Chains A and B, each alone.
Chain A
Amino acid sequence: EVQLVQSGAEVRKPGESLKISCKGSGYSFTKYWVGWVRQMPGKGLEYMGIIYPGDSDTRYSPSFQGQVTISADESINTAYLQWSSLKASDTAMYYCAKSAIMSAAGPFDYWGQGTLVTVSS
């Protein structure tokens, strides 16, 4: 069974750093792109970026380039999303998701359960 299991909810203060994770199982982790999607409270879905764990090729949406870092550790089938200095506007639910197409960045067929990040002083 394909699963993406994300790390738990986080509460941080503005200016702090954070790294959240997404562990894949039930499929060949290195052969499918994994993406990150932001959903701010009461809002729609925003595509942040995507990584190919097999060679760590990473692409960012222009809106998120320089704001976050996406990485992966293929030895433990885990992708990461990290911030070096959080802002209150980073408060959102963050989803990881797996591309439906092997070796291609296509639609997402499996999603993690989401990680709620709250940034508040």
Chain B
Amino acid sequence: EIVMTQSPAALSLSAGDRATLSCRASQSVSSNLAWYQQKPGQAPRLLIYAVSTRATGIPARFSGSGSGTEFTLTISSLQSEDFAVYYCQQYNNWPPWTFGQGTKVEVK
């Protein structure tokens, strides 16, 4: 099973700041990497798939990069609605498609 490790576990930032979230895979997942956002009491929402493709309706301030085993989600300028938990997920090696443990972006 591929293990996805996210860092940091929590990020304390202010609105307008740039957020950089990391995700590392225990082995290569090629370009089969997605990012999700989850707010309290809500289902996760797909932000990015195939490393860098934004899902429908996702603002351009969200961007993804990386390849192989190292990936990054960048939020260029945090808005109030972006404070949430973010998960990466690989869908390259089954079983299963694994999630990272999450990074909480919180208000500083």
Are B43 and A47 interface neighbours, CB within 8 A?
no
Per-position binary interface string of chain B over residues 84-107, scored 1 when its CB falls under 8 Å from any chain A CB and 0 otherwise: 000101010011111111100000
What total of A-B pairs shows CB separation below 8 Å? 67
Q: Closest residue to B49 on the A side, CB-wise?
A: A107
Q: Closest residue to A47 on the B side, CB-wise?
A: B96
Are B95 and A114 interface neighbours, CB within 8 A?
no
Are A49 and B96 interface neighbours, CB within 8 A?
yes
With an 8 Å Cβ cutoff, the count of chain B residues facing the other chain is: 24
- A95 contacts chain B at the CB level, 8 A cutoff: yes
A window 84-121: CB within 8 A of B: 95, 97, 100, 105-109, 111-114
Residues of B at the A interface (CB closer than 8 Å) are 1, 32, 34, 36, 38, 43-46, 49, 55-56, 87, 89, 91, 94-102
Residues of A at the B interface (CB closer than 8 Å) are 35, 37, 44-50, 59-63, 95, 97, 100, 105-109, 111-114
User: Considering the chains assembled together, what is the distance between the CA atoms of A63 and B44 in angstroms?
Assistant: 21
Chain A residues, CB < 8 A from B55: 100, 109
Interface centre among A61, A63, A107 (most CB of B within 10 A): A107
